[in-house]
Amino acid sequence: MANESGISMDDFESLMATSDVELLKKAWRNEKSAPEILQFQTSLVQRSLEQIQLMEETIEEFSKKGFDPLIVSIYQMDLDRAQYMLRSYLRIRIQKIEKDTVHIAKTDQWDQLSKEEQNFAKRCYENMKGYLDESVLSKLPSGYQSDLKQSNASEENDMVPEPNSDTFVFCKSDSSIGAIPLDDNADEIVDLVADDLYVLRYKSIKPFVENGQIDLV
Amino acid sequence: MQDEGLDVQSARNADHFGMLIHHLALLRNKRCLMAYVHKRSEIIQSLSWKLGRVLPEEIEQKLSDPEKRYFKSHSSALRLYMRELGGLDLTVDMVPPKDPYIKVRVLDDIGVTAMGDRDTNLARHSIHFLKRTDAEHYIFQGMMEELLG
Amino acid sequence: MANYFDIDDILSEEELIPVVFQKAATGVGLLDPSSETNNIEQGAKVELPFWLAHELHTRQAVVMSIPPCFNQMTRKEIQADPASVDLRNRCQYFYELGCKIAPMVGDRTIGSFLLYALKNRYKEVISKAHTATFVASTKPLTLLTKEETHLCEAAQSSMAAFKKWRMGGSRFETPSVLGKRKPSE
């Protein structure tokens, strides 16, 4: 049956088993659990988009050629799952940007955004500022009208909410990493063993999440 | 002479602390106001995810003019982002997919609508077997419900 | 301020704290009910909300003392029977306020007292919240602080979500903002 279509089943299998799906799953899970926004996976997202399109075309061809509807719908389900993951990944990021717009814009997290996300963040901030100005800020006494500082007396931006990096996350690692200090003084240390599940402060494992040694779950 | 100097000094201090208290009270009031409008802005953000670009009247009535404008501008910012992505709609697929098709009952007269490659008459109380992504929007808007089993 | 817009954080700072003014202040007599002028004298004892007391404390204008919900009497009651003390009535934001106030008043025992209270109350009340028998008697819920209620609700909702997942219920939900549509409409 497969051979009639011109696309062999084997090709299709290998297409779907590509590690990109696994990479996307990993990026998606990390993004889902991390309190702050992580580095945008530019090329991974690009590849995923292309593969999803390829799968769509393949499925269409399958159904045109009158393949068993059951088989078509199984491929459709697989496509659905990949598409869900990609949408969810992008969505979580956008929702983080909505929430912490100013914080992201003012820190090095800005560089973790894709070009499109940066555009969105800019518009998001303008809209929010316009709304806050109109509703409250413009009606306050001068010296208290800033959307970043409580008053002119504030030395820094003391109105900007930040993601809470003290929050606890579930995580595990493929390989043994060794001792990780849990606080600044290194008073407490945890020895990370491969494939064991841990609940730790995001702050203490952040560098390992960023370099891919620890996965959030 | 020295006493007098002290008096002036402490009077100035008393003025200073009086002023400080007024200043702190102002900051507090600002924080309360801001928290209130900010909380509402978060709700408006989530509305633009769930309801798209048009607000149902019963919700629109409850919003202030700046809030209505914020809803419009925020949902158009979202749409612009999705367009820049190449038209990938992020407002569907909100729950992990299980089956590509689901059974739904229509709650409102929606009329004849293009579903996939054919037109379907979505009359009230009719039951359909639809593509999940097609049905999702209607379910979120309360115009359909998912039938189980 | 990382949680500038956090409404719970704002409310937790609304709690009244007894203070003694170390400096006089003009034009703010309304803070001191016993004052006959519009001023506050040095040495005046008044109760101020935490957000004000805290700022004045750091500028050495007032000295804070420990509010009644952390006094010896409450501590003894909690030690005797952690679960039956009505903390909601004493201070809705018992733990949050405790954490904020501990470094200011220089009382090192507050931290361990908070931990003791949460641990033991958790064991007694909150962990029972998602067992079936508990649903029948909701009375202990009225004794809980905000944070404890959140924990309780989290336990209950994850239990409900787990059951729903196991039974396979509908996963699509209409946003609650739209309200329920009447079938007759």
Q: How confident is the model at residue B6 (pLDDT cuts 50, 70, 90)?
A: low
Has residue A7 got a pLDDT over 60? no
Kindly identify which residue of chain C lies nearest to residue B43, measuring between CA atoms.
C177
Are residue A129 and residue A88 in the same domain, yes or no? no
Question: How far apart are alpha carbons A126 and B121 in whole angstroms?
Answer: 42
CA–CA min distance B142, chain C (Å) = 6
Are residue A72 and residue A29 in the same domain, yes or no? yes
* Chain A residues with CB within 8 Å of chain C CB: 158-162, 164
In the sheet that holds C45-49, the strands lie side by side as C45-49, C16-21, C62-64
Has residue A17 got a pLDDT over 80? no
Amino acid identity at A145: Q
Distances (CA, A) of C22 to B10, B11, C61: 12, 14, 5
B5 lies within 8 A of chain A by CB:
no
Judge: B140–C39 Cβ closer than 8 Å, yes or no: no
Nearest to A168 by CA among A211, A204, A199: A199
CA–CA min distance C4, chain A (Å) = 6
Write down the domain spans for chain B.
Answer: 2-84, 101-146
Sign (positive or negative) of CA dihedral B53, C5, B37, A144:
negative
Least confident of A1-5, A106-110, C20-24: A1-5
Predicted pLDDT at A95: 95
What tens-digit pLDDT sequence spans chain C (185 residues)? Answer: 778 999 999 999 999 999 999 988 888 888 888 878 888 888 889 999 999 999 999 988 999 988 888 888 889 998 888 878 888 888 989 999 999 998 888 788 888 999 999 988 888 776 666 665 555 555 666 788 888 888 888 877 887 888 888 877 666 655 555 544 444 33
Predicted pLDDT at C182: 40
pLDDT per residue as tens digits for the range A122-177: 999 999 999 999 999 999 999 999 999 999 888 888 899 999 989 999 998 888 88
State whether ipTM is beyond 0.85.
Answer: no
Which residues lie below 8 Å from residue C13, measured CB to CB, with a gap of 6+? C49, C50, C51, C54, C97, C100
Residue to test with chain C: of A156, A162, A165, A166, most C Cβ within 10 A: A162
Q: Which CATH number fits domain B2-84: 3.30.43.10, 1.10.3720.10, 1.20.58.1030, 3.30.460.20?
A: 1.20.58.1030
Write down the domain spans for chain C.
Answer: 1-65, 68-167
Helix (H/G/I), strand (E/B), else coil: C44: coil
Q: What fold is seen in the domain C68-167?
A: Methane Monooxygenase Hydroxylase; Chain G, domain 1 (1.20.58)
Question: How far apart are alpha carbons A118 and A101 in whole angstroms?
Answer: 10
Judge: A132–B37 Cβ closer than 8 Å, yes or no: yes
Chain B / chain C CB contacts < 8 angstroms: 89
CATH number of C1-65: 3.40.5.50
Chain A / chain C CB contacts < 8 angstroms: 14
Helix (H/G/I), strand (E/B), else coil: B56: coil
A124 lies within 8 A of chain B by CB:
yes
The DSSP call for residue B122 is E
- Selecting from C10, C27, C168 the residue whose C-beta is nearest the C-beta of B31 gives C10
Are residue A154 and residue A184 in the same domain, yes or no? no
Are residue A177 and residue A94 in the same domain, yes or no? no
Residue finishing a domain among A99, A119, A144: A99
Residue finishing a domain among A84, A99, A114: A99
The DSSP call for residue A190 is E
Domain span holding position A194: 168-216
Which residues lie below 8 Å from residue A53, measured CB to CB, with a gap of 6+? none
B37 lies within 8 A of chain C by CB:
no
pTM as predicted: 0.82
Question: For the domain that residue A191 is a member of, what is the CATH number?
Answer: 3.40.5.60
Residue to test with chain B: of A64, A84, A100, A103, most B Cβ within 10 A: A84
CATH fold match for the domains C1-65 and C68-167: no
Kindly identify which residue of chain C lies nearest to residue B15, measuring between CA atoms.
C26
Are residue A91 and residue A120 in the same domain, yes or no? no
Residue finishing a domain among A99, A128, A147: A99
Question: How far apart are alpha carbons A106 and A152 in whole angstroms?
Answer: 19
Share of chain B above pLDDT 90, in %: 36
**For chain A, what is the domain count?**
3
Which residues lie below 8 Å from residue B131, measured CB to CB, with a gap of 6+? B100, B101, B115, B116
